[in-house]
Structure 1
Amino acid sequence: METGFRKWIIVVTVVFCCLLELIDTSIVNVALTQMMGNLSATQQEVSWVIASYAIANVIVIPMTGFLAEQFGRKNYYLVSVILFTLASMACGQSTNLWELVAFRFIQGIGGGALMATSQAILVDTFPPKQLPLGQALFGMGVIIGPTIGPTLGGYIVENYDWPWIFYVNVPVGILASIFTILFIRDPERIKNAIPRPLREIDWAGIGFLILGVGSMQYVLEQGETNDWFDDGIIRLFTGLAVVGVVGFLWRELTAKAPIVDLRVLTKSRNLAVGAFLSFVLGFGLFASVFVFPIFTQRILGFSAEQTGYLLLPGALASGFMMPIVGRMLMAGVPQKAMLPVGFAIFFGFTFWMGSKISPTAGESDFFWPLITRGVGLGLIFMPITTMSLAGLQGRDAGQAAGLTGMIRQLGGSFGVAIVGTYLERSIQNNRVALLPNISLYNSETAQRVQAFTQSFINKGLSLDQAKQAAYAALDGTLMKQVSLITYTQIFYALGYFFLACVPLILLVKRAKPGEAIDLNAAH
């Protein structure tokens, strides 16, 4: 365990690295339009800038335990920081789309290792009694990162140019590399570990992991863009995902030295429940961050920078909650008591947001609901993490941390994919449902068209032009109302999903007195 100045330098280093990695999952979202123009790319092509990073992330995270043991955790972490930093610089220097996509994939390889390994380093830094505080600091990066990504991205896009969303990583990466060299040390178990010979490495498991998880992530990222299973490529990658996942499960459950030891799930009921709840957490975290900016920018006309600033207070509320929740756990408050409160608060946030959605909504209408979201996520993340890993020792704890990290990322991908699909298809369905209420034989509709027509005539249009503009304005009004209904439905559906998962908390076993999380050997 570390003390004094060294301890807090390590904390600052790994938390900032974790924060950077997660910011990069969402910071590019607000810059895609600018990238399309500068790189001469279509909307479908530019979506690969997001997909390539996510695919690399979700492949690397579960393998970090093996890679850290094979090469030494400090060495692996240092190489990951340097790789992430160099790839960030290369992304900003890219001159065409596919060059940018390739460097984003490399950035994702380095970034996935940062998030998973940071947790283990933090745990080594704190004594067992202060472990919830270390987990709280890690949680700040996990929750705040995806939320402030649009804030930072919006500011950069409005005031500078899109390459700067990558260049901002470089100075932090350089400092993190220096601090890693000077201050981070491997625990004794990692120092004394004997690397596996190349012939004993679970190459089949690595292959199935890349095939299964990579293909699944591709389907989730590109499915809506390509009209899901109507597209042959999506059907192909779905089949590859099934083959890869089934093969991965078989291999990891039967191999003597698996790359990811799935058997750890059978050793702890809390880990099995926690893994599913991690999926739920990722789903809610990423889906809510995904849908809110679309609503404010498409319907209310907010700029990317405005939307980012709206999300910032809620992110800070999450960060503020983390140390509080950590101290509550240290004081003996059971996770089983805190989780229902967190789920209930998030449920309240979704219905509060649904009630605030209107064509006249302003920034002040969303401040307190988003603060509520931040508090709820703070009460969910810490209990899930500590509950999942409690009672596991050594390598098992490291495997469990990698698994829950991967599952949380997949939950986010499923959340974005499902909400994106629901959004596009429900808008069409709601439009069809409302159309019968609009008819020129209806007096209210006729009066509205007449008012629009007269308004356009007063602006100098001819009668025919004014009528065409009036019908277009009526259709715009209809689509706005349809969109408002759809966004409300999405927030309500998110709330019901969280509510439906609450009974799973009953399966959680309360930790025995003195039972601690041993992550000293993790990753």
Structure 2
Amino acid sequence: MTVSDAPIAPLAASFVLAPVVALAAFMEVLDLSIANVALQNIAGELGASADEATWILTSYLATNAIVLPMSGWLATVLGRKRYYVGCILGFGASSLLCGLAPSLAILVLSRALQGLIGGGLQPVSQAILADSFPPARRGMAFAFYGMAVVVAPAIGPTLGGWITDNFDWRWVFLINVPVSIALSLLIGQLIKDPPHLIAERLRLSASGVRIDYVGFALLALGFGFLQIVLDRGQQQDWFASHFILAAALLSAFGLISFVVWELRSEYPIVDLRLLANRNFALSNALMFMLGFVLLGSTAALPQFTQRLLGYTAMEAGMVISPGGLALILVMPLVGRMTGRIDARLMIAFGLAVAAWSLYHMSRFDFSVDYWSIADARVVQAVGLGFLFIPITTLAYVGLPPEKSNSASALINVSRNIGGSIGISFLTTMLQRHVQAHQTALVAHVTPENPTYRALAAGLQEHFMEAGSSGQSALHQAQATIADTVAKQALTLSFLDNFLLLAVIFASLIPFVFLMRPESGAQS
């Protein structure tokens, strides 16, 4: 008897099934960020510009975003086990193509294929765990999954930098090949489609599988162009660019039309009607904000250390690594607490702790040391550890088992899109705030300001003592002050972003209690 044949997964088997399934999701989520730090090396070897190299990331994100919401439908129609194993093997094969790519064009196409095939790994992994474990033991199962999808983006840049520095950028992709082969063999032995999914697939086969071509086209149009807008908007000054404006309009048209079409369709590829369940709708909103803050802060903190404190890419990655370790330690504890403590209280506690840590980050200055930053990240990680599992657990309460594939697809879409929007939004706010702060600071840097005169005179004297002429020393003093102003403006902008994230998380706490508690949740 396989693990999923049993109505309740045996305790011993849970320590095999959950980690293996989580590892498949980990592999796919890791590739969202592992290639980021290797772009310069890739561009140099393949003769591409830095801007062209970013399509290596955009192509993966765009196709991943397209297939993610429809993965539940694909798993139902094709058979979940068949689709899942196919995704794992296909991901490995496309990773091999990426690692062997002789040109940028082939690498971009291979990355698009990798994102398209791998898009089903996250939601199907979560659906397997939801079906294989009873509600009382889902917490521990989701702990493994949570560690995978939350820790992977945090360690991706560090791992990618280490591989690139010590081996070759191609191994960033080739490392997936042996892992995918091993996982496919293990998954083939561990899981089996549950009876309700087999019955649903037979029913669809008997009545004739109807492919919603219109829904698929609108989904591809909406999510594909949305990801391009989010990924490249800031580089091209958002709507000042005709390309970004056109992409945004096409995305809006596709997504709005998709929602209308799917709600009217008899055989939708994405079951949006699940959002009529209050708990599920609120869980998706909270998961969206979790992705927004998690990935937004994960991208911002290394930038802060590199641009202002002079850290290397590896050192910047090491700043957030202790947070990943904290998540690994906290999530099993939260998994054991789930079902014993009101999940809403756990979510509220997690939001409060994470908000406090982000507020603490907003008090950083030039003198902040490594451990102060790492400690703040650890506290944030502890708070985040109290969010993922309770939110996911409450999302499934009240939903029929046959909807687990569709539910997993939607909740993973919410987290991923939230992360993409968070990174894009914070990047834009950083640039806008830098301009505003610099304008405000420059207004005080005038000869009429006695503080400025004293500072300029002191610096000029310092440079003259070092051997510069009077005029040259004056220019050096002015350049030093201008550099300090620019650095201060950038610092204030980063701190603004950390404070904004803290306020967002704190403001979500009252909405948590609109959810029904686990024991009383209904559709």
Question: What's the TM-score once normalised by structure 2's chain length?
Answer: 0.93
Q: Amino acid of the residue matched to residue 354 of structure 1?
A: S
Which of 337, 340, 343 aligns to 2:351? It is 343
1:229 is aligned to 239
1:310 is aligned to 319
Could you tell which deviates more after superposition, 208-217 or 466-475? 466-475
Kindly indicate whether the alpha-carbon contact (under 8 Å) linking 2:142 and 2:389 is maintained by their aligned counterparts in 1: yes
Which of 264, 267, 270 aligns to 1:257? It is 267
2:301 is aligned to 292
Structure 2 CA distance for aligned equivalents of residues 98 and 463 of structure 1:
55
Q: Amino acid of the residue matched to residue 439 of structure 2?
A: V
Note the C-alpha offset of 1:457. Answer: 4.5
Instruction: Determine what percentage of the aligned residue pairs are the same residue.
Output: 35
Superposed CA deviations along residues 39-82 of structure 1, whole A, max 9, x for unmatched, are: 33333322222222111222111111111111111111111111
2:406 is aligned to 399
Structure 1 CA distance for aligned equivalents of residues 78 and 513 of structure 2:
40
Q: Does 1:248 align with 2:268?
A: no
1:354 is aligned to 362
1:138 is aligned to 145
1:417 is aligned to 424
Structure 1 CA distance for aligned equivalents of residues 461 and 55 of structure 2:
47
- Which secondary structure does the structure 2 equivalent of 1:161 belong to? coil
Q: Amino acid of the residue matched to residue 233 of structure 1?
A: F
* Distance change (3 Å), C-alpha of 1:460 and 1:168: farther
1:511 is aligned to 518
Note the C-alpha offset of 1:359. Answer: 1.4
Kindly indicate whether the alpha-carbon contact (under 8 Å) linking 2:76 and 2:405 is maintained by their aligned counterparts in 1: no
Q: Amino acid of the residue matched to residue 348 of structure 2?
A: P
Note the C-alpha offset of 1:5. Answer: 6.3
Q: Amino acid of the residue matched to residue 130 of structure 1?
A: R
**Equivalent residues in 2 for 1:110-509, closer than 5 Å:** 110-192=117-199, 193-194=201-202, 195-196=204-205, 200-266=210-276, 268-331=277-340, 333-355=341-363, 357-459=364-466, 461-509=468-516
Note the C-alpha offset of 1:135. Answer: 1.4
Note the C-alpha offset of 1:465. Answer: 4.2
Which of 98, 103, 121 aligns to 2:110? It is 103
Note the C-alpha offset of 1:32. Answer: 2.4
Q: Amino acid of the residue matched to residue 245 of structure 2?
A: R
Kindly indicate whether the alpha-carbon contact (under 8 Å) linking 2:96 and 2:174 is maintained by their aligned counterparts in 1: yes
Superposed CA deviations along residues 172-198 of structure 1, whole A, max 9, x for unmatched, are: 112112212333322223334225577
* Distance change (3 Å), C-alpha of 1:77 and 1:430: same
2:3 is aligned to none
1:521 is aligned to none
Which structure 1 segments of 5+ residues have no match? 518-523
Kindly indicate whether the alpha-carbon contact (under 8 Å) linking 1:150 and 1:307 is maintained by their aligned counterparts in 2: no
Note the C-alpha offset of 1:101. Answer: 1.7
Structure 1 CA distance for aligned equivalents of residues 194 and 284 of structure 2:
26
Note the C-alpha offset of 1:218. Answer: 1.2
Note the C-alpha offset of 1:233. Answer: 0.8
* Distance change (3 Å), C-alpha of 1:456 and 1:107: farther
Superposed CA deviations along residues 326-362 of structure 1, whole A, max 9, x for unmatched, are: 211132x11121111111111101111111x211222
Kindly indicate whether the alpha-carbon contact (under 8 Å) linking 1:453 and 1:467 is maintained by their aligned counterparts in 2: yes
How many residue pairs align between the two structures?
513
Kindly indicate whether the alpha-carbon contact (under 8 Å) linking 2:88 and 2:118 is maintained by their aligned counterparts in 1: yes
Kindly indicate whether the alpha-carbon contact (under 8 Å) linking 2:143 and 2:389 is maintained by their aligned counterparts in 1: yes
Q: Does 1:23 align with 2:30?
A: yes
Structure 1 CA distance for aligned equivalents of residues 466 and 180 of structure 2:
56
1:86 is aligned to 93
Structure 2 CA distance for aligned equivalents of residues 396 and 421 of structure 1:
37
Q: Amino acid of the residue matched to residue 84 of structure 2?
A: Y
Structure 2 CA distance for aligned equivalents of residues 411 and 284 of structure 1:
8
- Which secondary structure does the structure 2 equivalent of 1:178 belong to? helix
Note the C-alpha offset of 1:485. Answer: 0.8
Structure 2 CA distance for aligned equivalents of residues 461 and 97 of structure 1:
48
Note the C-alpha offset of 1:129. Answer: 2.8
Could you tell which deviates more after superposition, 5-14 or 471-480? 5-14
Note the C-alpha offset of 1:462. Answer: 4.8
Kindly indicate whether the alpha-carbon contact (under 8 Å) linking 1:10 and 1:179 is maintained by their aligned counterparts in 2: no
Kindly indicate whether the alpha-carbon contact (under 8 Å) linking 1:353 and 1:491 is maintained by their aligned counterparts in 2: yes
Structure 2 CA distance for aligned equivalents of residues 199 and 14 of structure 1:
28
* Distance change (3 Å), C-alpha of 1:435 and 1:123: same
Structure 1 CA distance for aligned equivalents of residues 369 and 49 of structure 2:
32
Structure 2 CA distance for aligned equivalents of residues 182 and 350 of structure 1:
44
Q: Amino acid of the residue matched to residue 219 of structure 1?
A: V
Note the C-alpha offset of 1:321. Answer: 1.6
Note the C-alpha offset of 1:4. Answer: 6.8
Kindly indicate whether the alpha-carbon contact (under 8 Å) linking 2:302 and 2:319 is maintained by their aligned counterparts in 1: no
Note the C-alpha offset of 1:454. Answer: 4.3
Structure 1 CA distance for aligned equivalents of residues 175 and 477 of structure 2:
47
Note the C-alpha offset of 1:467. Answer: 3.6
- Which secondary structure does the structure 2 equivalent of 1:27 belong to? coil
Kindly indicate whether the alpha-carbon contact (under 8 Å) linking 1:128 and 1:516 is maintained by their aligned counterparts in 2: no
Kindly indicate whether the alpha-carbon contact (under 8 Å) linking 1:151 and 1:311 is maintained by their aligned counterparts in 2: no
Question: What's the TM-score once normalised by structure 1's chain length?
Answer: 0.93
Superposed CA deviations along residues 20-52 of structure 1, whole A, max 9, x for unmatched, are: 211111222222233333333333322222222
Structure 2 CA distance for aligned equivalents of residues 245 and 256 of structure 1:
18
Kindly indicate whether the alpha-carbon contact (under 8 Å) linking 1:252 and 1:261 is maintained by their aligned counterparts in 2: yes
Cα RMSD for the two superposed structures:
2.1
Structure 2 CA distance for aligned equivalents of residues 461 and 156 of structure 1:
45
